[in-house]
Structure 1
């Protein structure tokens, strides 16, 4: 059971640590100290649902319906392109980048964005549902593998969201926000292009 738990933890960690749209969003919310708890919880619960769906057998179903994945790919690319434009607009006006001056985002807007970043990414279905679901069935303790994967997700998103709050003093200057938003814009745009040409 422990080897399967560890395998699930390491497999999931390897998939989610890479810089992506969801991680960039969690990082930004953490730095702003804004709705961090619901963001971390939604990302973790999203992974829990997807990992356990994959283990329960949704993986072959997802792989058998490329049209649904294609639709998700285009919706995801459009949403990422929109987020890239929004980040680029923020970066163009560094004097307005003070989060206090910008005003807090509503909890609803943050939750909707977080859900979209989680479920409009077709790679999440391939990585989490298909790949982790398949890897789980190669273990002696399938559900322990899933628990390890969810533990990795909770650990990572908690560290990223709550750890980012320590960067807040660095982001007291508008220039730091400008650099972060430029990086976010580039990441979102690159991911949108990747989805379209994949």
Structure 2
């Protein structure tokens, strides 16, 4: 069975051209909705995923109708493949029912994986370079060394609580505790 999916982001947009293309592609059932592609809550997409069975073909007019991020697209396409559901994107000419379409699908997946690894490597190199220059990552301390000395002095008075000291420096008590522990 050929199942179509049409999505627009706002009520001002029309799904008509998508629906026409899906009908022309032979879709027997079309799931339509109006919501952002970034939204995880897409009821019609969930219905489509529940309705699709092994041997079915899911068709979209364009890849961006199925999802905005490459990660989400690849996750959906992987779930289609594992459930033996074929996929066609009309505009991009991706058709996993053919050998070339399957190759295109794998190339997109390989490029996405390559991109993730490049980003990870660049991040690690950048952090190492920053450390070599003496930079330390993470948030800046909310309390300076002087503030910590003052806090210690305040806490020598048995009438003053840690909660009062934390309020004085406009930090939470756990933040004060961490600053005190760091300076020990």
- The TM-score bracket by the shorter chain reads under 0.3
Larger strand fraction of residues: 2
Instruction: For CA contacts below 8 A with separation 6 or more, give which structure has more relative contact order.
Output: 1
Given the two structures, how large is their TM-score scaled by the length of structure 2?
0.24
Determine which structure has the larger helix proportion and give its number. 1
Q: Which of the pair has more CA radius of gyration?
A: 2
- Which TM-score applies when normalising by structure 1? 0.23
